[in-house]
Chains A and B, each alone.
Chain A
Amino acid sequence: MVERVNTTAAPPLLRLDSITKSFGPVRALRGVSLDIRAGQVLALIGENGAGKSTLMKVLSGAHRPDSGSVEMGGQPLTLANPLAARRAGIAMIYQELTLAPDLTVEENMTLGLEQARFGFLRSQSEKIAAALKLLGAEDISPDQKVQTLTIARQQVVEIARAIVSDARVVIMDEPTSSLSGEDKRALFRVINKLREEGLAIVYISHFLDEIDEIADRYAVLRDGESVGAGLVSESTTESLVELMIGRAIDDMYPRPDHDLGEVVLSVNEVHGSPLPRGVSFDLQRGEILGIFGLVGAGRTELARCLFGLDPVSRGRIELHGNTRMKLAGFRPINALRGGLDYLSEDRKEEGLAQNLSITENTTLSAIRKTSRYGFLQLRKEQATAEELSRKLDVRCSSTSQPVSSLSGGNQQKVALARMIHHDSDIFFMDEPTRGIDVGSKHEIYELIHSLAAAGKSIIVVSSYLPELLGTCHSIAVMHRGALSEKRDVAGLTEHDIMVFATTGKTMPLERESDLV
């Protein structure tokens, strides 16, 4: 497909050596070393939370490393701030595009670059046109407003901006996550052009099939450390996945050992806009179903669609055999009445009303239980909140404390207390243990189990695979908006799931079962 340059002998353009970075007690980078070479594409891979984003922030000057060194062309380089990184010729193409939609292509490209150099705005259209031509995008006019371009074309503008600013290293963070197949091809052609021009490209992606296609070399991060690097041509999907995972599940996960009941929720071909794409599954009473997927695969969107927070474009759900559930105009209030409840992945912005008290947050979704004729029964309300806080071990001095004064783990327990108080039958838990300490994590796993044992059905959405393998009965994987068939966790390995999540290729077990 692509002719691969094999000049490992040439010295690297940009060299990172033993970079470390901590945020408080969290060691995000524990010693990362990378060689980035001119005229090559380096794929940087790793699970969510492996340290890729932190590393890129170090390279773009947004974070200063605690220790370690950076060399550009053999000279030491200090990346004190984003401007220093840009001056050194390092350009970032973020996952979320950073163009100003109301400005023209030219204005966007020269933003913050040229004004300083001339004092007056001078047209750079020739240079810009040349850059766009180089990328095979002559059809984009420098005078066009950016908002008239598709996402894919906007991305090309971002890359052209890197060329105009004389970048030598271009870092792309998950560039294909919002692109269709055809746009992806076009992006790869652009990347090949950059490679021919002798630029060094760092390509961050979860998708191993893409890496096979576009990258020359790879580097794998795991838990903030470099754990492997080499030529893509000498690697296999299997060997890369092994490098990415490389750890064993410990004993922190209680195993579920109760029997499952009848089907309580049946989801048929549910489509969102644009994600998810045609998702179907059944959920049994007492079941803990894990939904795994990488960032952008559509797992959160699926849960939000089913809870009425995101619009559903088509599809059907059956709740307790009720076939006449309408998803059009479905709102959280309907979902709650139907016995569904949702734990938001974003405690701060959505999950909890931060400046209201523990009590007020706990009772909000089932306020009828502590009120009569529209009047609150404050004593009963407080007693309820105190009892639940004790049960879930929420560490607080009083339940009238605002939620914002609690730690992440305790806040999550308040959100869980609210679900328990509302007492739905089916819980969607989106990243229930994100950003909380190990001790609270364990408590939350135990809680999930006791709920399931009491006959609740729970869908755990997570991007942390060991947690799902440890706590769930069954797992289904999302890949680009589609959900795989759910499989019993007993027959699964991290490896199988990761292969599916990164490539969309069927899990091996599924193939066997198809034959049966």
Chain B
Amino acid sequence: MPKLPTAHSNWKSLLLPFIGLLFVFILFTVLIAIFEPDNLEAFLSSRNAKTVITQTVIVGIGALGMTMVITSGGIDLSAGSQIALASVACALTLNAFSGGDPATISVLGMLVATLAAMTAGAATGAFNGTVSCALKIPPFIVTLGTMMIARGAAEGIAKQSQVRTPDNTLQNFMQRNPDPEWLIFAPGVWIMILLLVVVAVTMRYTVFGRYIYALGSNESTARLCGVPVTRTRIIIYTLCGLLMGISGAMSYAFLGSGDPTTAVAKELDIIAAVVIGGGSLSGGKGSPIGSIAGALIMTLLVSGCGMLNVPDWSQKIIIGFIIIGAVAVDTLKNRRQIAS
């Protein structure tokens, strides 16, 4: 009897999303070399690599939260609005902590602002989970409602405009070239990597993580086996919201201001990243590392299309086909597994 780890997480399936990433990378390298050879150097530069990775952070952190939700058989359409709400909450808190002339912000202020962003996201997530479980409304509907509610709340507290803040260190978190230089990547990228490790360990090595897979695979079985279904679901949505909150703080860092109109339809990019990374919308399947690879593929596509001077409209078409193609490959692979 071969000693393998459990079915949903053996080595091959861990690496597979990166094979997809590598494939997209090689494909664009070849295409650019043929059609736009002048841009090849720029595409392969470390500068571009840093840009792509930094631009992945917002969707990537969101995808980590969404991976838990989708693996448990749920969905969260309010992700984009949660990011906007959190970015506004972050900016407003920073302003509350600014003092003196010229205005400065203490480290404590930045910490509290990040916590405020996380709280805004977690509260929205807790609302999603509680309402969906208590009233037995499908999460698709509840989070569709929350998408509007959170967006409206963000616009309301921001008084329908961007929330500008005094300059502060938090704004450097999404700089392509970090200060100090030895960090190589922006602090936001390291935060994403840290969160990836935390979420991956949670899903793979904890009882809670096992419950996520069990719920998504078969809720009836989970209930039968004494899994606290309602409590687990509420925690999943709350954690998802928390991660959207962090993503919102990164969004503030990226834009340098709190923007209630940011991240519109971002939930779709996030869901696409999870699905490209091997997550199944019917639940029971999902991998945090895959989702990050999925998010990287999405950014790489945009970057590559830009270098190819492909117009915006055809970029969209290409990304659309990639999403369908990724899932098709996954489905075919599963069918072959079942056949053998």
A residues neighboring B (CB under 8 Å):
309, 331-333, 336-337, 342, 344, 349-357, 359-361, 364-365, 367-368, 371, 374-376, 378, 382, 386, 397-402, 404-405, 418
Contacts and interface: CB of A to CB of B under 8 A. Distances in A.
Interface residues of B, number: 31
Contact of A356 (B5, B10, B214, B224): B214
Interface stretch (B105-113, B124-132, B203-211, B306-314): B203-211
A336 B218 contact: no
B217 A353 contact: yes
Nearest to A401: B7
A350 to B, nearest CB: 4
Contacts of B285: 355
B3 interface: yes
Contact of B7 (A352, A367, A402): A402
B161 interface: no
A378 B4 CA distance: 11
A349 B1 contact: no
Nearest to B280: A355
Interface in B205-251: 205-210, 213-214, 217-218, 220-228
Given A364-B210, A375-B205, A351 B5 contact: no
A357 B227 CA distance: 17
Given A354-B218, A376-B205, A359 B225 contact: no
Contact of B224 (A344, A367, A371, A376): A344
Given A342-B224, A376-B205, A400-B10, A353 B338 contact: no
Contacts of B221: 350-353, 361, 364
Nearest to A402: B7
A371 B211 CA distance: 13
Nearest to B2: A398
B7 A400 contact: yes
Contacts of A342: 224
A374 B223 contact: no
B230 to A, nearest CB: 10
A354 B228 CA distance: 19
B228 A356 contact: no
Given A354-B217, A360-B7, A360-B210, 15 more contacts: A332-B223, A333-B227, A344-B220, A349-B220, A353-B222, A356-B7, A356-B213, A356-B214, A356-B284, A357-B7, A367-B207, A367-B210, A375-B205, A397-B2, A398-B1
B45 interface: no
Interface string B1-23: 11111111010000000000000
Contacts of A418: 225
A400 B4 contact: yes
Contact of A357 (B1, B6, B222, B228): B6
A400 B205 CA distance: 15
Contact of B207 (A350, A354, A374): A374
A332 B226 contact: yes
Contacts of B208: 374
Given A356-B214, A397-B2, A401-B7, A378 B205 contact: yes
B102 to A, nearest CB: 48
A333 B231 CA distance: 13
A371 B1 contact: no
A400 B285 CA distance: 15
B259 to A, nearest CB: 38
Contacts of B10: 400
Given A332-B223, A344-B224, A378-B5, A350 B218 contact: yes
A331 B5 CA distance: 32
Nearest to A367: B207
Interface in B174-213: 205-210, 213
25 contacts: A309-B224, A332-B224, A333-B226, A351-B221, A352-B221, A353-B213, A353-B214, A353-B217, A353-B218, A355-B285, A356-B214, A356-B284, A357-B7, A360-B210, A360-B213, A364-B225, A368-B207, A374-B206, A374-B207, A376-B205, A382-B3, A386-B1, A398-B4, A401-B7, A402-B7
A351 B209 CA distance: 20
Given A353-B217, A364-B227, A375 B222 contact: no
B71 to A, nearest CB: 11
Contact of B226 (A353, A365, A382, A402): A365
A356 B10 CA distance: 13
Identify the 9 closest CB pairs spanning chains A and B, nearest first. Answer: A365-B225, A353-B217, A333-B226, A350-B220, A353-B218, A364-B225, A357-B7, A336-B226, A353-B221
Contacts of B7: 356-357, 360, 400-402
A351 B224 contact: yes
A82 to B, nearest CB: 30
A491 B209 CA distance: 52
Contacts of A351: 221, 224
B225 A332 contact: yes
B210 A376 contact: yes
A405 B334 CA distance: 12
Contacts of A333: 226-228
Given A365-B225, A397-B1, A352 B218 contact: yes
B173 to A, nearest CB: 31
Nearest to A381: B6
Contacts of B207: 367-368, 371, 374-376
Nearest to A383: B3
Contacts of A349: 218, 220
A333 B223 CA distance: 8
B278 to A, nearest CB: 13
Nearest to B224: A332
Nearest to B282: A355
A285 to B, nearest CB: 23
Interface string B258-290: 000000000000000000000000001100000
Nearest to A336: B226
Given A386-B1, A402-B7, A356 B226 contact: no
A359 B6 contact: yes
A364 B209 CA distance: 12
Contacts of A397: 1-2
